[in-house]
């Protein structure tokens, strides 16, 4: 396993000249080893610096793009996905958020993804999910895991880093990727770039709904969600109007668990995927896009 991580590190350094993360730290993260607090704080500092310079709406061009949904402490699924992208010379991978809480290897999972992001920041995209906030991760396992291994100050540093993650990715001007859904009163996607970085909860209502909203076939525009105050279901009419206004052809999101771990909405123009092994009847899914169309649905079997 060390040799595998070493080869990935050396290949990426040779290709990009990027030596921001040292080999030893990357190998430890790849193996799922806990970092010393000093090294962990360095990992968070380096990744936060990258997120600070990324726009809230990341516009990317790519011939081949992988998309993966919630991993929730599923270290092995995240590693499987990363092996796929590191095995290709070109292409990008988009993780749609929710890296912590619920699963058994939450710290290992997020550290692996942050280390990979530092190594290959243009190839690997980490979007923010609703669990990358103390609104969720203080209550669903991550806070306790951090206190068990580190301390409350370290928990604060993680959430500070999460608060700088981008919300949305736009692939080839046509495919929108985000964690939750379309928010109320968002007309044009470019407005997302006006959202503040470092918004911990977040306090911005539109940003919050991007992380929390869900699609519903039977809803016309918006309807209150059972998830809580200020969170909405968005329906077919809202979806159609938003997609046409922004000249988009497809939307990919995560956030919801469905037993097959994949579900299509709105005549197949929206897909919701889930990528965590620790849910019943769920074999983690990863979508492969060729330009702006789904080329393949990959399924993890462990």
Tokens 């608060």 locate to: 163
The CATH number of residue 49's host domain is 3.60.21.10
Cβ–Cβ < 8 Å for 279, 206: no
Instruction: Decide: helix, strand or coil at residue 261.
Output: coil
Provide the residue-wise pLDDT of the chain in tens; the chain has 302 residues.
689 999 999 999 988 888 899 999 999 999 999 999 999 999 999 999 999 999 999 999 999 999 999 999 999 999 999 999 999 878 999 999 999 999 999 999 999 999 999 999 999 999 999 999 999 999 999 999 999 999 999 999 999 999 999 999 999 999 999 999 999 999 999 999 999 999 999 999 999 999 999 999 999 999 999 999 999 999 999 999 999 999 999 999 999 999 999 999 999 999 999 999 999 988 999 999 999 999 999 998 76
- Active site residues per annotation: 131
d(CA 202, CA 294): 31
- Using the 8-state DSSP alphabet, how is residue 182 labeled? P
pTM for this prediction: 0.98
List the beta strands (DSSP E) in 143-238. Answer: 168-171, 175-178, 214-215, 222-224, 232-234
pLDDT the model gives residue 1? 61
Domain residues for 33? Answer: 2-299
Q: Which phi and psi angles does 18 have, rounded to 5°?
A: -85, 110
Cβ–Cβ < 8 Å for 238, 162: no
pLDDT the model gives residue 2? 82
Give the number of other Cβ atoms within 10 Å of residue 205's Cβ. 14
Instruction: Decide: helix, strand or coil at residue 178.
Output: strand
Task: Report the DSSP beta bridge partners of residue 270.
Answer: 251, 265
Residues 227-274 pLDDT 10s: 999 999 999 999 999 999 999 999 999 999 999 999 999 999 999 999
| Maximum Cα interatomic distance, the chain, rounded to a whole number of Å | 53
Closest CA to 99 of 184, 162, 146: 162
For the chain, how many structural domains are there in total?
1
Residues 6+ away with beta carbon under 8 Å from 145: 100, 106, 107
Give the number of other Cβ atoms within 10 Å of residue 174's Cβ. 16
pLDDT the model gives residue 166? 98
């Amino acid at each position: 396993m060390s040799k595998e991580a070493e080869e990935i590190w050396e290949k990426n350094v040779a290709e990009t000249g990027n030596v921001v993360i040292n080999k030893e730290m990357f190998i430890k993260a790849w193996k799922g080893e806990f970092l010393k607090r000093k090294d962990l704080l360095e990992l968070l500092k380096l990744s936060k610096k990258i997120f600070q310079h990324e726009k809230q709406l990341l516009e990317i061009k790519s011939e081949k793009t992988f998309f993966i949904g919630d991993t929730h402490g599923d270290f092995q699924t995240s590693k499987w996905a990363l092996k796929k992208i590191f095995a290709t010379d070109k292409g990008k991978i988009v993780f749609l958020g929710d890296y912590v809480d619920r699963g058994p290897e939450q710290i290992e999972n997020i550290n692996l993804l942050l280390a990979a992001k530092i190594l290959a920041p243009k190839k690997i995209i980490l979007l923010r999910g609703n669990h990358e906030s103390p609104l969720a991760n203080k209550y669903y396992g991550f806070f306790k895991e951090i206190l068990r291994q580190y301390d409350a100050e370290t928990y604060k540093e993680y959430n500070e880093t999460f608060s700088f993650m981008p919300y949305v990715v736009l692939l080839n001007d046509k495919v929108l990727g985000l964690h939750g859904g379309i928010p109320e009163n968002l007309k044009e996607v470019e407005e997302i770039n006006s959202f503040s970085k470092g918004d911990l909860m977040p306090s911005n209502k539109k940003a919050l709904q991007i992380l929390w909203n869900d699609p519903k076939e039977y809803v016309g525009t918006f309807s209150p969600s059972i998830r809580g105050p200020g969170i909405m279901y968005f329906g077919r009419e809202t979806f159609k109007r938003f997609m046409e206004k922004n000249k988009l052809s497809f939307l990919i999101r995560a956030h919801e668990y469905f037993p097959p771990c994949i579900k299509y909405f709105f005549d197949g123009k929206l897909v919701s995927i889930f990528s965590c092994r620790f849910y019943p009847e769920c074999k983690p899914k990863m979508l492969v896009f060729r330009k702006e169309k789904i080329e393949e649905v990959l399924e993890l079997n462990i």
